[in-house]
A and B are shown apart, each in its own frame.
Chain A
Amino acid sequence: MNNSTHPVLRSGLLLGLIALLGTALLAGVNELTHERIAEQEKRRILQQLNAILPVASYNNNLLEDVIEITDEASFHHPAPVTVYRARKDDQPVAVLMAVTAPDGYNGAIRLLAGFDHSGSVLGVRVVAHRETPGLGDPIEVEKSDWILSFMNKSLLDPQAEGWAVKRDGGQFDQFTGATISPRAVVKAVHNALVYFDANRQSLFDTSATNPERDNG
């Protein structure tokens, strides 16, 4: 090819070559890493689930015994709620629900809430949030014990009025100068618990199992 007559062609080809090399590099690295990345994602979800539900208490494959529910009226949020179902020897043990509290101070707070089959709370953890450091972030278990106060609560203990922060006449503490974040969490956990209580049977229904779901 002649340099001076086809400078545009030459430049175009060179640019194409660079793009090709870049793509090849990325494809290669992706091939090398994608398994490990999928594993890391799985490990993280399992870690979060097991922080609430002890490994010894179930023996099914938690990550594959999953359903998704979309019910905006119950959860006050349009996104589908992922429900992990724990069983021991095919007997229902507990569910872990990945719910979203839409009304945090800085947007949505993503939570994981575990309820045992009898309807009491096994535990709640914050998975992702953007609340203000120092004000709203004591909802994280790393920052304070507040989120542990949900343990062993149920729809009867406390009654519906009690499922609110103290400022609203409920049972749960708020933080100094920050009521919005804890209020959002309490509401979302309560909504999830109410849904669980009303749909306990169908939530454990195996016919709805959807093992192909990608947990990424």
Chain B
Amino acid sequence: MAEQLKNILLDGAWRQNTGLVVLLGLCPLLAVTNTLINGLALGLATMLTLMVSNLSVSALRGLLRPEIRIPAFVLIIASVVTVIELLMHAYFYDLFRALGIFIPLIVTNCAIIGRAEAFASRHGPLPSLMDGFATGLGFCITLVLLGALRELTGQGTLLAGAEMLLGDWGNYLTLTIIPEHPGFLLAMLPPGAFFGLALLIAARNALQADKAGKPAQAVSNLSAENLVGNSHET
């Protein structure tokens, strides 16, 4: 059991990382990552959604006949996301405003319905919860890295806007890494997100190639297979 959970964690967070390998949920990934904090907040919200939706789907899996599986998933995911949206609106108001439309749009992140279909509807509650956590963690890490990269190159800071997540003392967390940064527009605009993501994917492939002692080429072929194998439903 422990071995299985560890495998699920590694799969979700690294081997099948949603943002870097499976390449699902790219719209929010590219849109909100102009700062680290925005990325972190959306990452956490997505992780929570994945865990709750995986758990509910797994609990209901014996009852769901194939023809109503997808509509049932959609209902569950939409309810969960709306609850998260209401709670954020009430308790993290500034963050809610900063992330705007991307909170309700978590519904359309096909990674979530993908995990419900490919994993939670075939496994027990505990592994499913773990899978939601691991996939969410992988997505969150990608968002945070991309956010940090773009924030640093774009405006020379890290953790700007931390007060939206943490309250007033978050103001002291903002690090000005490059003082008097003139601002690098490209990093802040949507193209910067694509470049940043490409760099992260390349870095991951290089790491992977290092480990396997194989050229990076082989790794990217592998990821292409994973992509096809894993996302046929979404």
Contact = CB atoms under 8 A, between A and B. Distances in A.
A27 to B, nearest CB: 11
Given A19-B75, A22-B79, A36 B90 contact: yes
Interface stretch (B15-23, B61-69, B110-118): B61-69
A37 interface: yes
A132 B189 contact: yes
B87 A133 contact: no
B188 A133 contact: yes
B27 interface: no
A34 to B, nearest CB: 8
B49 to A, nearest CB: 14
Interface string A27-41: 001101100110010
B65, B90, B154, B189: which has the most chain A beta carbons within 10 Å? B90
Interface in B89-135: 89-91, 93
Contacts of A79: none
A37 B79 contact: no
B75 A30 contact: no
A22 B87 contact: no
A44 interface: yes
A11 interface: yes
Contacts of A134: 154-155, 183-185, 188
A14 B68 CA distance: 9
Contact of B63 (A14, A21, A29, A33): A14
A148 B184 CA distance: 25
Interface string B30-72: 0000100000000000000000000000001001110110011
Contacts of A18: 60, 72, 75-76
Given A40-B90, A40-B93, A15 B83 contact: no
Contacts of B184: 134
B82 interface: yes
B93 A44 contact: yes
A33 B89 contact: yes
Given A11-B68, A18-B72, A22-B76, A132 B185 contact: yes
A133 B185 contact: yes
Contacts of B79: 21-23, 25-26
Interface residues of B, number: 28
Nearest to B71: A15
A198 to B, nearest CB: 34
A135 interface: yes
Contact of B65 (A7, A19, A22): A7
B76 A30 contact: no
B90 A33 contact: yes
B86 interface: yes
B64 A37 contact: no
A36 B68 CA distance: 36
A29 B85 CA distance: 10
Interface in B171-190: 183-185, 188-189
Contact of A133 (B34, B63, B82, B89): B34
B201 interface: no
A29 B72 contact: no
Interface in B3-26: none
A33 B85 CA distance: 11
Interface of B: 34, 60, 63-65, 67-68, 71-72, 75-76, 78-79, 82-83, 86-87, 89-91, 93, 154-155, 183-185, 188-189
A-B pairs with lowest CB-CB distance, top 8: A22-B79, A134-B183, A33-B90, A36-B90, A40-B93, A133-B188, A11-B68, A33-B86
17 contacts: A7-B65, A11-B65, A14-B68, A18-B60, A18-B72, A22-B75, A29-B86, A32-B90, A33-B87, A33-B89, A36-B90, A36-B91, A40-B93, A133-B34, A133-B189, A134-B154, A134-B184
Given A14-B63, A133-B34, 19 more contacts: A10-B65, A11-B67, A18-B75, A19-B75, A22-B75, A22-B78, A22-B79, A25-B79, A25-B83, A26-B82, A29-B87, A33-B86, A33-B89, A37-B90, A40-B90, A134-B154, A134-B155, A134-B184, A135-B185
